[in-house]
């Protein structure tokens, strides 16, 4: 597949802050800004005629139905992002499966079809997630980091113990469209103070733009075929200077010959090109 770009937007809104126990008015308002940012992003994607994939928690779908419907009407793919924004690894198997089913039903009501893709909140799968995604008919996950440019089949049956060599399982049916914190707007830009920890964020947007362009150019010039997946959050990227940077990024990628695809199309391509055992 010629150098391909996936634009993914995690529409967390208020759910991200609630999942962290931050439910006072200011963090909630920070989540509310997601709806403002989402409309700005949709406008930009429409002007440039670009497809994208939106991972939306059930909490956002039921709290902001009109904006979510706008995303669907614009033709973007809707992926699963949990019902709450609690990471699967912090839930029991039963809680995880119940949230999976509840959010899938929300997405089906919104789009008329079940989601094909899943992205875990906070990119932290549980030991049960892959098995549950397969059992519930998902085609791909986008939460892991085992490659930078090449989607791959997720192994099942891995055993990792600290005092033993890794024992790798066998690739299964579920495809991984890998991600990276370096290609995610959140750690670069978002200032978060929680307890004794501070995520500084607030990076200069031009510096981040340079990193993100260089990652695409390495794919194009040194790897050749492959996929780069950028992850954005409307409440992060929706601020003025970052929206201007995002437009510069997208125009540059277009100038460099990138083809843009929704993630389910990329998953279908790699499903045909790789075999599961």
From 4, 6, 8, 10, residue interacting with Zn ion (rule: CB under 5 A): 10
CB of 138 to Zn ion, least distance (A): 17
Query: Contact at 8 Å (CB) between 242 and 205?
Result: yes
Q: Which stretch binds Zn ion (CB under 5 A): 9-17, 138-146, 157-165, 168-176?
A: 9-17
- Residue 12 binds Zn ion, judged by CB under 5 A: yes
How many residues sit close enough to Zn ion to count as binding (CB under 5 A)?
A: 3
Nearer to Zn ion, 124 or 247 (CB): 124
Give 194-199's long-range contacts (Cβ < 8 A, gap of 24+). Answer: 194/20, 194/22
- Residue 184 binds Zn ion, judged by CB under 5 A: no
CB of 270 to Zn ion, least distance (A): 23
Nearer to Zn ion, 12 or 77 (CB): 12
Interface positions, 103-142, toward Zn ion (CB under 5 A):
121
CB of 118 to Zn ion, least distance (A): 12
Cα separation of 39 and 37, whole Å? 5
- Partners of residue 199 on adjacent β-strands: 192
List of E strands, the chain = 4-10, 53-56, 77-80, 117-118, 140-141, 152-156, 170-176, 192-194, 197-199, 227-232, 259-260
Query: Contact at 8 Å (CB) between 71 and 42?
Result: yes
CB of 120 to Zn ion, least distance (A): 8
- Residue 190 binds Zn ion, judged by CB under 5 A: no
Binding site for Zn ion (CB under 5 A): 10, 12, 121
């Amino acid at each position: 597949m010629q150098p391909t770009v996936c634009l993914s937007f995690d529409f967390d809104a208020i759910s991200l802050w609630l999942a962290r126990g931050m439910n006072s008015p200011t963090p909630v308002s920070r989540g509310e800004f997601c709806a403002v940012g989402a409309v700005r992003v949709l406008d930009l994607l429409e002007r440039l005629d670009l497809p994208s994939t939106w991972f939306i928690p059930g909490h956002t779908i039921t709290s902001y139905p009109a904006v979510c419907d706008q995303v669907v009407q614009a033709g973007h793919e809707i992926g699963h992002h949990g019902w709450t924004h609690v990471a699967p690894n912090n839930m029991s198997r039963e809680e995880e499966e119940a949230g999976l089913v509840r959010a899938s039903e929300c997405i089906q009501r919104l789009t008329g079809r079940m989601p094909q893709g899943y992205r875990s909140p906070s990119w932290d799968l549980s030991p049960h997630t892959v098995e549950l995604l397969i059992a519930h008919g998902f085609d791909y996950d986008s939460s892991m980091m085992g490659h930078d440019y090449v989607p791959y089949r997720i192994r099942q049956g891995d055993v990792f113990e600290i005092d033993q060599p890794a024992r790798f399982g066998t690739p299964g049916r579920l495809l991984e469209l890998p991600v990276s914190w370096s290609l995610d707007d959140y750690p670069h830009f978002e200032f978060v103070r929680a307890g004794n920890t501070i995520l500084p964020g607030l990076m200069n947007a031009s510096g981040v733009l340079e990193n993100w362009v260089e990652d695409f150019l390495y794919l194009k010039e040194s790897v050749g075929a492959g996929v780069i997946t950028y992850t954005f959050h409307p409440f992060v990227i929706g601020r003025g200077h970052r929206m201007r940077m995002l437009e510069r990024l997208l125009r540059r990628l277009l100038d460099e010959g990138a083809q843009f695809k929704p993630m389910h199309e990329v998953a279908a391509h790699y499903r045909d090109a790789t075999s599961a055992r």
